[in-house]
Amino acid sequence: MNNIRTRFAPSPTGFLHVGGIRTALFAYLVAKQADGQFILRLEDTDQKREVEGSAEHLMESLHSLGIEYDEGPDRPGDFGPYRQSERLDIYKKWAQRLIDSGRAYADPYSSEEVQKFREQAQQSKQPFLYRNHRPENPPAWDGSQPLRFKSDPKEYEWHDEVMGDLRTGPEVIDDIVLIKSDGYPTYNFAHIVDDAEMEITHVIRGQEFLSSQPNYLNLYEALELERPIFATMPHIMNDQGNKKLGKRDGAKDVLDYIKDGFLPDAMVSFIATLGWNDSTEQEIFTKKELIEKFS
């Protein structure tokens, strides 16, 4: 692997708190340590949740902390566009590959029918799996229905740079939605396409995505893509230590810390030690030291 490329891919649904900044920082350090590229990609396919001005706020937050990306919405490169809402034709192209290979189909069911399937599974005390209701003769996809992945359930083993060696069985794999009825892709599909198109080598993200990893591995195979290197970070917990730190727990906008007088370099140094240390007693690091020592 010659050229290391990492990415930070937030959704523009609000401000950045320390959890998001840590993900961005770790991805930045992995890339810079190897003289690689760090990319910002905005995952703005959930139009209902997008907050106006949030994208600009996210970029300002990274710039203010000195976590500078090489490519992004305001720094065009060879792999753009860097907003998913501007990449819809790319997703349709990849979706067509799956349709042509028999690995995707139009979802013919109404939401009421799917709810009945869920209730039946609940009554029989079985987990709901959409693949158990896969239509034998689905209609041709015309873009007005959701497009689903035709999964191939199997056992998976994979290595995660943080979590170690992991394994799951076929029971967790399902026919996930690829393209929604509004024409926008789901995260599950879009991020895999984007990582491939943008030649991302290392995927560094939070623990909330770990349960979906078997479906992602199934999709990598169907698209005939090489897996990137995975690094899954544990959550930053709230004060009580009983759940992931979130905005409802008082997680603060990182720009507010700067407005309150915290130095950007001090914040970066502190955030870097939330889940990492260099096996010494050192607590304060310069950006150069972080790049040199991070592992």
Question: Percent of the chain, pLDDT > 90?
Answer: 74
Q: Where are the domains of the chain?
A: 5-85+191-293, 89-157+165-179
Q: What is the pLDDT of residues 73-132, one digit of tens each?
A: 999 999 999 999 999 999 999 999 999 999 999 999 999 999 999 999 999 999 999 999
Residues 6+ apart with CB under 8 A from 108: 135, 138, 139, 145
Structure tokens that stand for 181 in this block: 């009825």
In this prediction, residue 50 has a pLDDT band, given cuts at 50, 70 and 90, of confident
Asked which of 24-28, 86-90, 243-247, 258-262 is least confident by mean pLDDT, the reply is: 243-247
* Number of Cβ atoms within 10 Å of the Cβ of 69: 25
Would you state the torsion angle of the CA atoms of residues 71, 77, 78, 84, taken in this order, to the nearest 10 degrees?
60
Q: What is the pLDDT of residues 155-197, one digit of tens each?
A: 999 999 999 999 999 999 999 999 999 999 999 999 999 999 9
CB-CB contact of 159 with 200 (8 Å): no
CA dihedral for 250, 17, 191, 41, sign (positive or negative): positive
Residues 6+ apart with CB under 8 A from 128: 117, 118, 121, 122
CB-CB contact of 243 with 49 (8 Å): no
The answer to whether the 5-85+191-293 and 89-157+165-179 domains have the same CATH topology is: no
pLDDT at 146 (0 to 100): 97
Asked which of 29-33, 229-233, 246-250 is least confident by mean pLDDT, the reply is: 246-250
Q: What is the DSSP letter of 74?
A: T
Q: Which of 93, 116, 243, 247 is catalytic?
A: 247
| Closest to 268 measured CA to CA, from 3, 9, 2, 63 | 63
In this prediction, residue 17 has a pLDDT band, given cuts at 50, 70 and 90, of confident
Q: How far apart are CA 71 and CA 37, in angstroms?
A: 8
pLDDT at 239 (0 to 100): 55
Q: How far apart are CA 198 and CA 79, in angstroms?
A: 5
Q: What is the CATH number of domain 89-157+165-179?
A: 3.90.800.10
CB-CB contact of 118 with 128 (8 Å): yes
Q: What is the pLDDT of residues 111-120, one digit of tens each?
A: 999 999 999 9
| Closest to 252 measured CA to CA, from 19, 9, 68 | 19
φ, ψ at 238 (rounded to 5°):
-75, 180
φ, ψ at 29 (rounded to 5°):
-65, -40
pLDDT at 250 (0 to 100): 58
- Residue 247 annotated to the active site: yes
Sheet with 37-40, side-by-side order of all strands? 37-40, 5-8, 202-206, 229-233, 156-160, 164-168
* Fold topology of 5-85+191-293: Rossmann fold (3.40.50)
CB-CB contact of 44 with 55 (8 Å): yes
In this prediction, residue 251 has a pLDDT band, given cuts at 50, 70 and 90, of low
CB-CB contact of 153 with 173 (8 Å): yes
In terms of pLDDT, which residue wins out, 275 or 29? 29
